[in-house]
Structure 1
Amino acid sequence: MRHALLLATALTLVGNCRPAVAEAPFDFARAPGQLPKTVVPSAYTIDIVTDMTKLALTGHESIAVVAAGAGGSITLNQAGLKLVRATIDGVAATITQDDKAETATLRLRHPIADGPHTLVIDYRGPIPATPNGIYYDDYRSRSGARKRMLVTQFEVADARRMFPGWDEPAFKATFRLGVTLPKDYVPVGNMPVVSTTPAGANAKRVVFAATPRMSTYLLALVAGDMSALHGTGGGIPINAYAPTGEQANGAYALHAATEILPFYNEYFGVPYPLPKLDLVAIPGNYEAGAMENWGDITFIDNALLFDAKTSGPRTRETIYLDVAHEMAHQWSGDLVTMGWWDNIWLNEGFATWMETKATDHFNPTWQMWPRAHADRELAMAVDALPTTHPIQQTIADVSAANAAFDLISYQKGEQVIRMVEDWLGPDVFRDGMRVYMKAHAYGNTTSADLWAALSQVSHKDVAPVATSFTEQPGIPLVSVARSCTGGATTLTLSQSRFTIHDPDPKPLTWQIPVTVGGPGVVTQTVLLTTAPVTLHFAGCGAALKANLGEAGYYRTHYDDASLSALKGAFPTLSATDRVNLLGDQFALFETGTSPLAAYLDIAATLSDGKDQSVAVWQDTIAHLQRLDVLMRGSPSRPTFRAFARSLLAPQFARLGWEPRAGESFLDTLLRPTLIAALGRLDDPAVVMEAQHRFSAYLKDASSLPPSLLDPVMLLVGMHADDATTKILEHRLRSAPDTEEKIRYFTALAGSRDPARIANTVRLAYSGVIPNGRVVQAIGLVATDSDNPDAVWAAVLPNQAPIRARLAPGPQTQLLPAASRSTTNPAVARALLADPASSASSGAKIEAAKASDAIAGDIVLRDRTQPAISAWLAVQRNGRG
């Protein structure tokens, strides 16, 4: 699953931040979970009848099970269902439901004999609007007609909302699904339809072929007024479904899928095992960015559909990445599945790494690996805090499992996989993945199974290196010190733990593959463990950089001599190494190890406009915006903004407002980023030009290139008067798809006016924004309005109507999203005191993370403001 909402950067409680006990290979009997393993399903036959008017379903299922020591009862999952009757081998069972535990227990008078049995259950349940389980999605077609779609979203544990079953990943089984639907609905499931028969005047019964053995959360059903484009990849039919009338916009995603599938077939060494692959666009009401249902991948519409008239370059890139991510899951996650949610990183970290690898392979000019630096920074920003957690963490229940879909599982997981691949070599790593896939196909694993496969192929003991990063929290800090003796350089490497705002960090050590090199220098790689390591290089003047190529997951701190040499050689370093140096220097300021001036001095050299790397500029803009937020309330903020604008101005002068024929994709991507950044920094000329272009756009939509729609709307919204606000709000309400809704809501979210901020928060939960995007929208207002306390004030008394629209995962994220951008300690205290912040384990995790981050930002603000004022004073006095 690819989350559109990275507010799900949940962190476990401080008590769980400890190295895990060395993990064993997967063993079903010992796999974590909440259900007893005395009864195990092998095959489900499920038949549901939907009433899309009354929004209810009735179900009948037959489950082949095997019992071993079950006694007289069977416990399985259900949530929100009413079990009407149940039999075991034809004998009626007594039903007891525990709705809080989301279980049902079936009891017989006599013990259940060991061996195979057949369990039959009749039940009924709702089809709600909240986007989890089986739910309905109401939307308007582009012609304005009201439409209704039936959708499922079962990860983490919501299959139990459509049928009773063993809703934990270790309980794999086959599924034969039948469903009665309105006769005009087009059904899409994991497998092809094998029969369609009338079921009354206005309904039909559809039966899908049986699935391979898989986990419950991968079962899927989507039905509605859909049409498809068709293609083929690796000999497999691939179809891109969208609401009828929008199917042509699926062409780009279909193209991506048709070239990716044979690439994955070859990489994994196991051919895609299903008879078809469908990509399905869900209009609006969809919580995940995308979901890897086996053979039936679902996407929120703006993650699958590209409209050349209105879609920007970021949408093009996002679609390719999302398709690559979810298709990687068809092997890593679907064919081979983690045994429990403590290893969700095996799914998500790997797929995040693979999406970059595949996108880079087919789009080599996009500079995907240098730009993967952004993922590294996102992960490290939370991994340095006291409330971080290991990649592999203890997951006690479903609420905690939902919270585990975070930056540690995705982005840190991606970076650790990248590091291990770089250490072993890409061919060796690939061969290990092939062994892993073949050995565990249709089964479950732990991380230990992956390390064993990689060790088998590489003839290296992979586990000690890998587990030092996956079974304990935090980030290594590699310190580099140099000396010159006899015309040669001696470089000494040592390690410690990198932390931010942690009053009592637990000392940890890692086994770190460290690569050192530089311009004109022979590269050396060493495994740094507890003892310092010494390397020797010819000559004394060379710039020597650790983490060459940024494949390692660690920060680097250079002594003065090493940093001075790197500053002098900065323009000659690769884009990856330039952005790595910038990122580490900024982080060293955050932790108090290095002065802010060390970062700003390097960043200031970019003002000559010679560096055209998108990776460098994306990182620089992100840090400038971070500093700008920390400067709220400082009298030096306008002067800092002037400096920041001067840094960006040469690149904007190079690119200009108008896209040029034949320009690179990266220039097309950088231009709107620069415009938005300059506008946020109150560049009067840029804001005025955006307003001028908006006026022209209202008269002639073709006057504004698609790549400029987002930044122009953003800047207009930031400075909107009442009349312009009404125009933007009208366009939000009438937007035909999620991409345009997000565009206009983002414009409104940037307003600095308190009354408009409150109105935009109300819009977020008024029904204008789909339920699956409500929390994301509120978090956006808190981030972009420059007044997060006004957002908190608007959300806190209105929790009831907001929460009525939320699925369980976003319930835990609402208050953290509304508070995260503040530097007001009173808000942090109110967050922790609110009963919603202790309502579940997931809520506690999210609230602790947000409170910790706020506390860190308060400290950092108090250091940043005088540091910037002092640095700016030096610049005014003529240095640099």
Structure 2
Amino acid sequence: MRHMRLLASTLLCGAALLLAPGSGRAEAPFSFAATPGQLPKTVTPRAYDIALVTDMAKLTLSGEERVTLDVLTPTNTLVMNQAGLTVGAANVDGLAGSISHDEKAQTVTIRFPRKLTKGAHRLTLSYSGPIIATPNGLYYDDYKDASGAQKRMLVTQFEVADARRMFPCWDEPVFKATFHLTVTLPKAWTPISNMPVEKTEAAGPDAQRVTFAVTPRMSTYLLALLAGEMSALHGKGGDTPINVFAPTGEESQGAYALSAASEILPYYNGYFGTSYPLPKLDLIAVPGNYEAGAMENWGAITFIDEDLLFDRAHSASSTKELVYLVVAHEMAHQWSGDLVTMAWWDNVWLNEGFATWMETKALDHFNPGWEVWPREHSGRESAMAQDALSTTHPIQQVIADARDADQAFDRISYQKGEQVIRMIETWLGPDVFRDGMRRYMKAHAYSNATSEDLWNALSAASKQDVGAVAKTFTEQPGIPLVHVARTCVGGEAALTLSQSRFAIHDPHAAALNWRIPIVIGGPGVTTQKVVLTTAPATVRVAGCDSPAKVNLGEGGYYRTVYDDAGYTALKAAFARLDMTDRVNLLGDQFALFESAQQPLSHYLDLVANLSEEGETSIAVWQDTLSHLRRLDELERGAPERPAFRAFVRSLLAPQLARLGWAPKPGESFLNSMLRPDIIETLGLFGDPEVTAEAQKRFAAWRKDPSSLDASLVEPVTQIVGLHADAATWDVLADALGKAPDTERKRRFFAALARSQDPALIEKTFHLAYSGAIPNGRIGRSLVVLARDSEAPDLVWKLTQSDQAAIRKRLAPWSQTELLPSVASVSLNPKVSGEMLADPASSDSAGARLAAARGAEQIATSVELASRTRAAVAEWLTLRGGAK
């Protein structure tokens, strides 16, 4: 699942529910009996046969279910999951049982007058329940089509534990079974599930009864059912039919995703050594009420519309790349997650870390000129931003209750998981790593696995003890910091490497040790590899002043700090480093300032020369822009902020001169993505010429929308929004209301969120949850408003007071994060106290940890802002102001 919270540029990541913040889980290979969970393992389902009837007017469902069971231990009790359902009758092999429901535990218990014997049995039951409004379980989605007509569709979102809202089941990933689904739906609707339609029958004048083919053996959370007024584009990936569904009238916008999927599927077939096993693959765009981002339902992948549809007339260049990444991510899950499934949610990283790594690998494979891996540095930075704090957790974490596992879908599981996999691949070599993955897939197909199973497969392929290295990164939290001390010995540089723990605002961080695969090299420096353990290691390279770079290629998950001699050598050779190493050095230098281990001048001195040295890499510039914007946020209200902004404008002006406002015929895709970033930053940082040009282009756009290139709509409206009066706000709000898709709705809301007028900020706040933007974007939009309006405390107060109304539109996982995500933008300790005191912050263990993480983010930012203001003032003074 490409979780929505991971696509947001928030300061606070989703909180993971742990028994203890630093606890991990040392594992054994997969064992059904030893797998954690809440349901008894006396019985396991083999096959479900479900007949479901939907009433879309009353928004209710009723079902008949037959389950082939294997009784492993004689028992007179069956415990299944259900949430909000009522089981009316149940029997096993004709033996009737008594039924009791436990809504708090989300279970139904069926007791029989005598024990069921060991072996196969048939459970038959009937049930009923609601079709709900929030985007989890089986729910309805009301949306407007391209013509503005009101429409309704049926959608499922079962990960983590919401299949139980559509049918009683053993709703834990270890209980795999086959599914044979029949559903009664409105006659005019197109039905979609994991497998092709087997038959369709009339079920009255306005209804149809649709039966789908039997699925392979899989976990409950991967079952899917969608229906509505949808149409599709059709293609193939190898011999597998691929269909991209969208609301009727929008299906042509699925052409790019279809093209991407058609080339990705054969690539994955080859990489995994196991061909995609289902008879078709559907990709389905869900408008409006969809919060998960995307979901890897086997054979029927769902996406929020902007992550699947690309409109060449209106979509930005960055959307094209995002569509490819999300399609590649969810398709990777068809193997890692669907074919082979983590045994329990403590290993969700096996699904998500791998799919995040694989999406980047696929994008790079098919688009080698896009600087894909250098730009994936941003994911590394976001993971490390969370992992450096005291509220971090191990990749493998203790999840006590499946209902709390939603909180495990954070940057540690995704981005840190990706970076650890990349590090291991770099260490073993790509061919050996691929061979290990093929072993893993073959050994655990249609079953479950643990991290230990992956390490064993990679060890068998590489003839190395992979687990000894990997477990130091997956079973304990935090980031290694590699110290590099340089001495000159006989004309050579002797580099002594040692390690400690990297932490930010955590003076009491527990000392930890890792086994760190390290690659050393650089311009004119022979590449060497070493695994650093607790004992220091010394590596010699030719030339006392040679630019020896540790973490060459940024293939390792660790920070690096150099002594003065090492930093000076790399600074002198900065322009000659590979772009990946330039961005890695910049990222580490900024982080070392955040942790108070290096002066900010080390970072700013490197940045100040980028344009003079002819820097054109989008990876370097995007990383630089993100850090400069962060510094600007911390400078809010500081007297030196105007001078700092003047420096940034002088730095970026040559880039705008190089790129220009208008896209050039035949220009690179990367330039088409960098241009709007440069323009937007210049405008937001007060460049008068850029502001005037944006206002001019906005006026022309109002008369003729085709006059403005799609990639420039966002920066132009952002700059206009910053200076918006009430009349301009109304123009942008009208554009938002008329926007037919999520991408444009989000774009215009972001422009409204730039307003600095408190009255307009309040209007924008209420607009966020008025239905003007999709429910799946409400939480992110409020964070954007808090940050970009530069009035985070006002947005916090509004959110806290209106939270009841907002929560009605959010899925459960977003409700937990609502207050902490908005509060964490603040630089006001008072907000931290108000958040912690709010009853919602103590609703559950997950809520308490999310609140603690938000409070830590505020405290960290307050301390960092103080140091930033002094450091920026000093650096500008030494520089003589902006030049």
Q: Same fold (TM over 0.5)?
A: yes
CA gap of 1:482–1:14, structure 2 versus 1, over 3 A, is farther
CA distance in 1, matches of 2:881, 2:617: 30
How far apart are 1:10 and its partner, in Å? 2.7
- Partners of 1:151 and 1:609 lie apart in 2 by 52
Preserved CA contact (<8 Å) 1:14 1:386: no
Matches within 5 A, 1:678-693: 678-693=682-697
Question: Secondary structure of 1:20's partner?
Answer: coil
Whole-angstrom distance in 1 between the partners of 2:563 and 2:89: 72
Distance in 2 (alpha carbons) for counterparts of 1:673 and 1:214: 43
Distance (whole Å) between structure 1 residues aligned to residue 132 and residue 769 of structure 2: 17
Contact kept in structure 1, 2:257 and 2:309, CA below 8 Å:
yes
Counterpart amino acid of 1:596? L
Q: Are 2:548 and 1:544 aligned? A: yes
Q: Is the 8 A contact 1:10 1:405 kept in 2?
A: yes
For 1:252, the aligned partner's letter is Y
Pairing 1:769–2:776 present:
no
Instruction: Tell me which residue corresponds to 1:9.
Output: 13
Q: Partner residue of 1:332? A: 336
Q: Alpha-carbon deviations, 1:127-169, whole Å to 9, x = none?
A: 1221110111111111122111110010011101100101110
1:656 & 1:414 partners in 2: Cα distance? 36
- Pairs within 5 Å for 1:340-379: 340-379=344-383
* SS in structure 1 of the partner of residue 519 of structure 2: strand
Q: How many residues align?
A: 879
Equivalent AA in structure 2 for residue 115 of structure 1:
G
Comparing 731-740 with 564-573, greater Cα deviation is found at 731-740
Query: 1:869 is matched with which residue?
Result: 873
Question: What code does the residue aligned with 1:462 have?
Answer: V
Q: Is the 8 A contact 2:17 2:399 kept in 1?
A: no
Q: Cα deviation per residue 1:283-336 (whole Å; 9 max; x = unaligned)? A: 121111111000000111111111111001010000000110000000000000
Match of 2:463 in 1: 459
Shift of 1:13: 6.9
2:609 is aligned with 1:600: no
SS in 1 for 2:787: helix
Shift of 1:609: 5.9
8 A contact 1:9–1:405 mirrored in 2: no
1:170 aligns with one of 174, 177, 191: 174
Confirm or deny: 8 A CA contact 2:18 2:398 kept in the other structure.
Answer: no
Match of 1:708 in 2: 712
Partner of 1:522: 526
Deviation track 1:787-816 (CA, whole Å, cap 9, x = no partner) reads 111110111111111111121111101101
In 2, Cα distance between the equivalents of 1:181 and 1:12? 38
* 1:726 aligned counterpart, secondary structure: helix
Q: Aligned equivalents of 2:568 and 2:371: distance in 1?
A: 28
Cα deviation 1:735-760 (Å, max 9, x = unaligned): 11111111111111111111111111
Q: Mapping of 1:648-797 within 5 angstroms?
A: 648-797=652-801
Q: TM-score, normalised by structure 2?
A: 0.98
CA separation in 2, counterparts of 1:116 and 1:682?
73
Aligned to 1:205: 209
Tell me the equivalent position of 1:286. 290
Superposed, 1:188-203 pairs within 5 Å as: 188-203=192-207
Q: Displacement, 1:19?
A: 5.5
Q: Which moved more, 1:51-60 or 1:490-499?
A: 51-60
Contact 2:37 2:402 in 1 (8 A): no
Q: CA deviation at 1:15?
A: 6.6
Range with bigger deviation, 57-66 or 449-458:
57-66
Distance change in 2, residues 1:749/1:559 (3 Å):
same
Alignment equivalent of 1:496, drawn from 491, 500, 511: 500
Report the 3-state secondary structure (helix = DSSP H, G, I; strand = E; otherwise coil) of the residue aligned with 1:134: strand
For residues 462-477 of structure 1, what are the structure 2 equivalents within 5 Å? 462-477=466-481
Contact 1:77 1:160 in 2 (8 A): yes
- 1:316 and 2:323 equivalent? no
**What amino acid does structure 1 have at the position aligned with 2:97?**
A
Q: 1:855 and 1:843, CA in 2 relative to 1: closer, same or farther beyond 3 A?
A: same
Equivalent in 3, 23, 27 of residue 27 of structure 2: 23
Whole-angstrom CA distance in 2 between matches of 1:877 and 1:334: 57
Hey, what's the Cα distance between the residues in 2 that align with 1:399 and 1:776? 22
Aligned residue type for 1:355: E
State yes or no: 1:429 paired with 2:421. no
Which blocks of at least 5 consecutive residues in structure 2 are unaligned? Answer: none
Change beyond 3 A, Cα 1:34–1:757 = same
TM-fit CA distance, 1:234: 1.6
Could you say what secondary structure the match of 2:369 adopts?
A: helix
CA separation in 1, counterparts of 2:346 and 2:243? 33
Alignment partner of 1:271: what SS? coil
Tell which deviates more after alignment, 847-856 or 601-610: 601-610
Deviations 1:364-418 (A, max 9, x none): 1111010010000000001000000000000111343111100000000000000
Residue 580 of structure 2 corresponds to residue 571 of structure 1:
no
**Distance of aligned partners of 1:399 and 1:791 in 2 relative to their CA distance in 1, 3 Å threshold:** farther
1:115 Cα deviation from its structure 2 partner: 1.7
Question: Does the alignment pair 1:837 with 2:841?
Answer: yes
- 1:399·1:842 contact (CA, 8 Å) conserved in 2? no
CA–CA distance in 1 between the matches of 2:293 and 2:174? Answer: 25
Deviation at 1:818, TM superposition (A): 1.5
Please point out which of 245, 261, 286 is paired with 2:265: 261
Over residues 210-250 of structure 1, what are the superposed CA-to-partner deviations in whole Å (9 max), with x where a residue is unaligned?
00000000000111111111101121000011111111110
* Alignment partners' CA distance in 1, 2:549 and 2:507: 30
Alignment check: 8 A CA contact 1:9 1:403 kept: no
**Code of the aligned partner of 1:601:** D
Report the counterpart of residue 625 of structure 2 in structure 1: 621
Distance 1:841 1:23 in 2: 24
Counterpart-to-counterpart distance in 1, 2:635 and 2:576:
32
Query: Quick one: structure 1 residues 203 and 521, their matched pair in 2 at CA, closer, same or farther if it must change by over 3 Å?
Result: same
Whole-Å separation in 2 of the counterparts to 1:599 and 1:410: 27
Deviation at 1:12, TM superposition (A): 4.3
Describe the SS at the equivalent of 2:686: coil
Identical positions, percent:
62
Stretch deviating more after TM superposition (397-406 or 213-222): 397-406
- Measured after TM superposition, the shift of residue 554 of structure 1 is 0.2
Q: Which amino acid letter does the alignment assign opposite residue 2 of structure 1?
A: R
State the partner residue of 1:385.
389
CA RMSD across the alignment: 1.3
Kept in 1: contact 2:18–2:397 (CA 8 A): no
Task: For residue 111 of structure 1, report the CA deviation from its aligned partner.
Answer: 2.0
Structure 2 counterpart of 1:5, one-letter code:
R
Distance 1:85 1:19 in 2: 43
Is the CA contact (8 Å cut-off) linking 1:175 and 1:210 kept in structure 2? yes
Q: Is the 8 A contact 1:285 1:773 kept in 2?
A: no
2:160 to 150, 153, 156: 156
Cα offset, 1:820, TM superposition: 1.3
Mapped to 1, the partners of 2:507 and 2:85 lie a distance apart of 47
8 Å CA contact 1:336–1:440 kept in 2: the answer is: yes
In the alignment, the residues of structure 2 paired with residue 80 and residue 173 of structure 1 have an alpha-carbon distance, to the nearest angstrom, of: 23
Aligned with 1:416 (options 420, 444, 455): 420
Partner deviation per Cα, 1:551-597 (whole Å, 9 max, x = no partner): 00000000000000000000000000000000000000000000111
Cα deviation 1:323-368 (Å, max 9, x = unaligned)? 1000000000000000001000000000000000000100111110
Alpha-carbon shift at residue 14 of structure 1 (Å): 8.3
**Normalized against structure 1, the TM-score is what?**
0.99
Deviation at 1:856, TM superposition (A): 0.7
Distance 1:422 1:167, change over 3 A: same
Does the 8 Å contact 2:313/2:710 carry over to 1?
Answer: yes
CA contact (8 A) 1:179 1:206 kept: yes
Secondary structure in structure 2 of the residue aligned to 1:200: coil
Secondary structure in 1 matching 2:116: coil
| Partner Cα distance (2:68, 2:75) in 1 | 18
Cα distance in 2 between the residues matched to 1:613 and 1:275: 42
d(CA) in 2 for partners of 1:775, 1:486: 60
Cα offset, 1:69, TM superposition: 2.9
Q: What secondary structure does 1:5 align onto?
A: helix
